Amino acid sequence: MIFAKKDHLIGLDIGSRTIKLGEVLEKGGRRTLDKFGMANLPQATIVEGRIKEPQVVADTIRGLVKDLKVKSHNVATSISGYSVIIKKIVVGRMSDEELHDSIQYEAEQYIPFDVADVNIDFHILGDHEANPNQMNVMLVAAKKEVVDEYVDFLEMADLNPCVIDVDVFALEKVFEESYLLEENSVALVDVGANKLNVNIIKNNISAFTRDVAIGGEEITREIAAHLDCSFEEAEEVKLGSAADKMPQEDLQEIVLSFVSNWCSEIRRVVDFFYSTHANENIQQILLSGGASQTPGFLEHLATETSIDVETFDPFRGLDIDENDHDTNYLKRIAPQAAICMGLASRRVDDK
Ligand SMILES: Nc1ncnc2c1ncn2[C@@H]1O[C@H](COP(=O)(O)OP(=O)(O)OP(=O)(O)O)[C@@H](O)[C@H]1O
Ligand SMILES: [Mg+2]
């Protein structure tokens, strides 16, 4: 196993509430979970995807690296939200190399920033449905300022950033690794503390993505306002460890109002997808992210969208040694680990 670590990366999901770190190794030809851990950040250390308190976040990451006895420093992490633009574009048929040379020019027409200010990446999806002389391409443009900020930050945290991914694609990656690929469309929905990511996969390719700035922290903030207490106390009330501080009916009312709003947002995204992809049928919604475990959310979403909704398990298909890991804990937090496990599946030479 000496060379097994050669090209693998540590997955590091820098969430605005919870940092997750995961590592997957090939052992005897099988993908095996080697490390997984999470640590919470104080509120407002990361706001709208920008790291406001680099020292606090770096210390939290160093703590995780130490606790989990992580040896490698090569990491894959991801960004999302306002700093990333993902667009499906149509260009004349050409090779990957040719597109590489002309992508700056092609991208100029589609992105609202100066191309000099963004890092551009692309993925050829296949021939255009109506015109064989053209092809569909997924264009990804990330603000250089933000990418550079993450790279500098990770170096400061004594890590070596090898891949800077995008949340929705990390989600797609873990789906590919852990679920049987089918022709049917599946919507991957991750609800974190401050953002909701959607990636609709059709014929095993991402057909549509959307980020919305909503999430679990909305509920916590509302509880804090209602009880006039600190954010951390409100988080405890929300997660049930200080249930006596608030009547259950009041808590349920707050939870329901936000859950209804999340469901309406997801419904809007699904409706938009249907309006642009006639005859498509989303077979299933797979829910991930910590806030996806909010009581009643899954059932509410199934009713709102009339689609089968299931909880995403990113550990599916991995060998997990019960002597090394608390499998009950992993089962409980599985959906929260999704993006991290997608990142942990990246390789150094991945795009
Ligand atoms: N069992 C649970 N029930 C309800 N909410 C939960 C539960 N577990 C975690 N959460 C909530 O999920 C959120 C954290 O989830 P997650 O780790 O996916 O977010 P994040 O990645 O830190 O945030 P983001 O991706 O939005 O920046 C918090 O708001 C937390 O209160
Ligand atoms: Mg997250």
Mean per-residue pLDDT for 317-343? 97
pLDDT in the model for residue 348: 78
Pure H helices in 179-247: 217-227, 231-239
Q: Ligand 1, closest atom to CA 20?
A: 17
The per-residue b/e assignment along 78-88, b for 16 or more CB within 10 angstroms, e otherwise, is: bbbbebbbbeb
In a domain, residue 219? The reply is yes
Mean per-residue pLDDT for 127-153? 94
Mean per-residue pLDDT for 101-126? 91
Is the pLDDT confidence value at 249 over 60? yes
Is the pLDDT confidence value at 286 over 90? yes
Round to whole Å and give the CA distance between 38 and 9.
17
Q: What angle do CA 180, 186, 190 make, to 5 degrees?
A: 105
Of the ranges 5-14, 79-88, 114-123, 290-299, the best mean pLDDT one: 290-299
Are 184 and 280 contained in the same domain?
A: yes
Are 205 and 136 contained in the same domain?
A: no
Round to whole Å and give the CA distance between 61 and 221.
25
Q: What angle do CA 305, 311, 315 make, to 5 degrees?
A: 150
pLDDT in the model for residue 1: 28
Round to whole Å and give the CA distance between 110 and 26.
40
Are 129 and 198 contained in the same domain?
A: no
In a domain, residue 128? The reply is yes
Mean per-residue pLDDT for 101-127? 91
Are 125 and 188 contained in the same domain?
A: no
Is the pLDDT confidence value at 347 over 90? no
Q: Is 195 in the pocket of ligand 1 (CB under 6 A)?
A: yes
Q: Is 216 in the pocket of ligand 1 (CB under 6 A)?
A: yes
Is the pLDDT confidence value at 143 over 80? yes
pLDDT in the model for residue 201: 95
Are 277 and 214 contained in the same domain?
A: yes
- By three-state DSSP, how is residue 120 classified? strand
Residue 269, domain CATH: 3.30.420.40
Q: Which of 16, 17, 64, 168 has most ligand 1 atoms within 8 Å of CB, for mutation?
A: 17
- pTM over 0.75? The answer is yes
Mean per-residue pLDDT for 224-239? 97
Round to whole Å and give the CA distance between 50 and 176.
29
Residue 107, domain CATH: 3.30.1490.300
Band of residue 4 on the pLDDT scale cut at 50, 70, 90: very low
Q: How many domains is the chain built from?
A: 2
pLDDT in the model for residue 89: 94
pLDDT in the model for residue 155: 96
Q: Is 193 in the pocket of ligand 1 (CB under 6 A)?
A: yes
Round to whole Å and give the CA distance between 340 and 315.
11
Q: Is 34 in the pocket of ligand 1 (CB under 6 A)?
A: no
pLDDT in the model for residue 181: 73
Mean per-residue pLDDT for 206-227? 96
Is the pLDDT confidence value at 243 over 90? no
Separation of 10 CA from ligand 2 center, angstroms?
16
Q: Are 115 and 95 in contact (CB under 8 A)?
A: no
Are 186 and 309 contained in the same domain?
A: yes
Give the pair of three-digit tokens for residue 127. Answer: 């021939």
Describe the strand order of the beta sheet including 282-288 as a list of residue ranges.
Answer: 205-212, 196-202, 185-191, 282-288, 308-311
Are 207 and 265 contained in the same domain?
A: yes
pLDDT in the model for residue 2: 39
Give the pair of three-digit tokens for residue 154. Answer: 């990770």
Are 122 and 242 contained in the same domain?
A: no
Are 189 and 296 contained in the same domain?
A: yes
Are 206 and 307 contained in the same domain?
A: yes
| Residue appearing with tokens 């899954």 | 298
Are 197 and 310 contained in the same domain?
A: yes
In a domain, residue 300? The reply is yes
Q: Are 22 and 36 in contact (CB under 8 A)?
A: yes
Give the pair of three-digit tokens for residue 135. Answer: 């092809």
In a domain, residue 193? The reply is yes
Question: Which has the higher per-residue pLDDT, 176 or 6?
Answer: 176
Q: Are 289 and 1 in contact (CB under 8 A)?
A: no
Q: What angle do CA 269, 271, 274 make, to 5 degrees?
A: 110
Round to whole Å and give the CA distance between 140 and 59.
31
In a domain, residue 43? The reply is no
pLDDT in the model for residue 350: 64
In a domain, residue 36? The reply is no
Q: Are 243 and 223 in contact (CB under 8 A)?
A: no
Q: Please give the residue range of the domain that contains residue 104.
A: 84-142
Mean per-residue pLDDT for 275-294? 95
Round to whole Å and give the CA distance between 183 and 120.
29
| Interval 171-205: pLDDT, tens | 999 999 989 777 789 999 999 999 999 999 998 88
Q: Ligand 1, closest atom to CA 194?
A: 26
| Interval 15-72: pLDDT, tens | 999 999 999 999 888 999 999 999 999 999 999 999 999 999 999 999 999 999 999 9
Q: Are 138 and 206 in contact (CB under 8 A)?
A: yes
Are 135 and 186 contained in the same domain?
A: no
Round to whole Å and give the CA distance between 341 and 189.
15
pLDDT in the model for residue 203: 85
pLDDT in the model for residue 6: 54
Round to whole Å and give the CA distance between 195 and 164.
18
In a domain, residue 247? The reply is yes
In a domain, residue 203? The reply is yes
Is the pLDDT confidence value at 214 over 70? yes
Give the pair of three-digit tokens for residue 338. Answer: 């999704």
Q: Ligand 1, closest atom to CA 294?
A: 4
pLDDT in the model for residue 183: 75
Band of residue 3 on the pLDDT scale cut at 50, 70, 90: very low
